[in-house]
Structure 1
Amino acid sequence: MVTPMDEENVQVHVPDAPSERSVQLTNFYRSRVRPLVEGWVPRGVRLHALRTITDASGLVRLSRSATTWPARHGSVRGTWLRARQAHASNGVVLHLHGGGFVFGSHRSHRVLAHQISRNTEMPVFLPHYRRAPEDPFPAAADDCLTAYRELLDQGIDPGRIRVAGDSAGGHLAACLLADLTRAELPLPAAVALYSPLFDLSCARLEEMDSTVRDPFLAPAATRLSCEAYLGETSPDEPRVNVLDADKTAWPPTLIQVSDSECLRDDAHRMAASLRAEGVPCELQIWPEQIHVFQAWADLPEAREANRYAGHFLRRHGTPEM
């Protein structure tokens, strides 16, 4: 299946300054949301409330032409989402949602999944992996590996599988690639990572935040979420320490991050480690955006970033003819 997207060399335009709409959104998060995040802890009533709110936020009306259906791959339940123009002959995307390992689900990330499906023209599977603190590491990582292996077991060629991940889902995506490498299993054709978190020690978050204050993420809350996920596991454990993983066979990778995020150093370090191993890696730094800005479909920057990410994932791989 050939579309106009295949025939053109799609370029990304990363603006020098944020749009007016982005400035408004960033100011709202900086003044209203960041103060709430400062005192948040990943347990009890606060965690339950956040899970409820984020899941409800994803239940917005999608395009009437979008199709969703529940599925189970092995022991992992989740949701498939397909935009109107998406077709499995182009391949499939396994999207690993963010939420600091403790919240987020196939419900909360439907809008971002729809953007991915629309721009890749592929169906997207959102697994509902187990979350901390009830199920700490390696539960989520194991679930993501199970979901991917089930796609292979269903006969889907790895050249037709792409992986995407946002925030903590970026770590799960990197962990998945490292797991596949160690197990000598076939890797996906390409990976796209949005505002990814890689270093679960959170060693440089305060330094980054003191230089440019993140309008959304608070380093202390991020650290607590990572600790909830790790449980008794050290962030230096080889399966957790994805920055030092063997990346020689990893597929082409796109990383999109904002220059105002406290996670921006994670993105730079991962890009450097990939390039050192000879892996094609594109690192895009977007000015003054909030964390995972791609989920805000009405932002000009989100439309541009999603358009390019879709093309990036689409041009790597082997669709059916």
Structure 2
Amino acid sequence: MTVTADVLDRVPSAPSVRLNRALRATVKQATRVLPGSAVGLRLARAAIEVGCIAAGADRLPHTRVRTATDRGAVHGEWLGPAATPGELVLLYSHGSAYAVCSPRSHRAFVTDLAERIGRRAFSLDYRMGPEHQFPAAHDDIVRAYLWLLAQGHRPEDIVVAGDSAGGHLSLSLCGELRRLGVPMPAGLVLFSPLVDASFDTAAAAYRRSNDPVTVPGFARRVIRHHLSTGSANDPRFNVALEAGPDLPPALVIAGASEMMRGDAELFARVQREAGGHCELQVWPGQIHVFPMLGVVPEARLALDEVTRFVAELDAVAHASDVG
């Protein structure tokens, strides 16, 4: 596997610099005073969904899944028609603090990502706060992965990916698979993942990143609606505890200007210390989950890195099949 520098030697593009300035003057100032209440989150969630519909998200091909399994319900959507057994699959979990966003809000991004890496994508619709408490979302991703296996998809044909809270879910999934004795997926792609759900790591990193999007207090107010029932010694909550040499190879992409870079660096460090493979890329001048932002050229370049990483995973798997 290719290993790149932890902090890329790249000057931030002019569009990303302008975007950071605009966000710092608007969104960040709003998060200083927004309460992050349950009512506010429900309103924000509804507004995001309406905005996505207005932007044409529902015109993108997708196949909704609502199915029952022995372990409980699986909810989500295939981008396009449902995958058939033997196809390469991407299992994706969206972010946004276990409180807002959905497969609809991420539909365009996941469609583009799946096309780039040559996989059929299943986008998980997991339970969030304030309606549902930890570990509901964790249980949902475990069910979804086991359901994919039951549909005839081999573990080595599955790549698991997620952004922010979805990255946290991706890591908690792998730890649960270890405990269940179920084979791991081929690889992990994590965009600005949440790792330390207490938010202490992010808060410490905020002092050096001066995140242009939000402040630690607001993030804590939002994420507590789902994670308040978790504890620091639970590896499903503090997924740094899931590190180990048996985890799949991971590509972690974060922005140097976001407080979540601390979580990305934490996981890369503990995973390498545990003898596992983790490729960390911290992109100068970039914000939280910047690969989703088509307005900055770094987004395309970061997705090129994902394409390269997954192609390397596939080459290894293909060599094993031939052997």
Question: TM over 0.5: same fold?
Answer: yes
Aligned-pair distance for 1:15?
Answer: 5.4
> 1:52-201 residue pairs with structure 2 within 5 A?
52-59=46-53, 60-61=55-56, 67-74=61-68, 75-82=73-80, 91-201=88-198
Aligned-pair distance for 1:227?
Answer: 2.1
2:291 to 284, 294, 297: 294
Amino acid at match of 1:24: R
Q: Distance in 2 between matches of 1:259 and 1:124?
A: 28
Q: Deviations over 1:254-280 (max 9, x none)?
A: 000011111111111100111112222
Q: Distance in 1 between matches of 2:243 and 2:4?
A: 30
- CA-atom RMSD, angstroms? 2.7
* Structure 2 residue aligned with 1:311: 308
> 1:261-272 residue pairs with structure 2 within 5 A?
261-272=258-269
Cα contact 2:137–2:169 (8 A) shared by 1:
yes
Aligned-pair distance for 1:57?
Answer: 4.1
Q: Distance in 2 between matches of 1:301 and 1:224?
A: 30
Aligned-pair distance for 1:10?
Answer: 12
Are 1:250 and 2:247 matched, yes or no?
A: yes
Amino acid at match of 1:132: G
Mean Cα displacement is larger for which, 187-196 or 242-251?
A: 242-251
Aligned-pair distance for 1:152?
Answer: 0.5
Amino acid at match of 1:102: A
Aligned-pair distance for 1:27?
Answer: 1.4
Q: Distance in 1 between matches of 2:204 and 2:139?
A: 32
Amino acid at match of 1:206: A
Aligned-pair distance for 1:56?
Answer: 3.5
Q: Deviations over 1:52-104 (max 9, x none)?
A: 2322344434798x632212354122111159xx9986511000110101111
Q: Percent identity at matched positions?
A: 34
Q: What SS is found at the alignment partner of 1:115?
A: helix
Change (3 A) 1:261 1:140: same
Cα contact 2:86–2:153 (8 A) shared by 1:
no
Q: Distance in 2 between matches of 1:57 and 1:17?
A: 33
Aligned-pair distance for 1:206?
Answer: 3.0
Amino acid at match of 2:43: A
* Long gaps (5+) in structure 1: 1-8
Q: Distance in 1 between matches of 2:166 and 2:145?
A: 14
* Structure 1 residue aligned with 2:25: 31
TM-score by length of 2: 0.88
Aligned-pair distance for 1:14?
Answer: 4.6
Are 1:280 and 2:277 matched, yes or no?
A: yes
* Structure 1 residue aligned with 2:34: 40
Cα contact 2:205–2:262 (8 A) shared by 1:
yes
Are 1:235 and 2:232 matched, yes or no?
A: yes
Q: Distance in 1 between matches of 2:19 and 2:133?
A: 33
Cα contact 1:81–1:114 (8 A) shared by 2:
yes
Q: Distance in 2 between matches of 1:140 and 1:41?
A: 23
Q: What SS is found at the alignment partner of 1:256?
A: strand
Instruction: Say how many residue pairs are matched.
Output: 310
Aligned-pair distance for 1:20?
Answer: 1.3
Change (3 A) 1:54 1:205: same
Aligned-pair distance for 1:304?
Answer: 0.7
Change (3 A) 1:293 1:197: same
* Long gaps (5+) in structure 2: none
Q: Deviations over 1:140-185 (max 9, x none)?
A: 0000100011000111000000000101111111100101011110
Cα contact 2:256–2:287 (8 A) shared by 1:
no
Amino acid at match of 2:260: L
Cα contact 1:96–1:166 (8 A) shared by 2:
yes
Q: What SS is found at the alignment partner of 2:12?
A: coil
Cα contact 1:58–1:110 (8 A) shared by 2:
no
Aligned-pair distance for 1:109?
Answer: 0.8
Q: Distance in 2 between matches of 1:191 and 1:58?
A: 27
Change (3 A) 1:214 1:187: same
Amino acid at match of 1:258: G
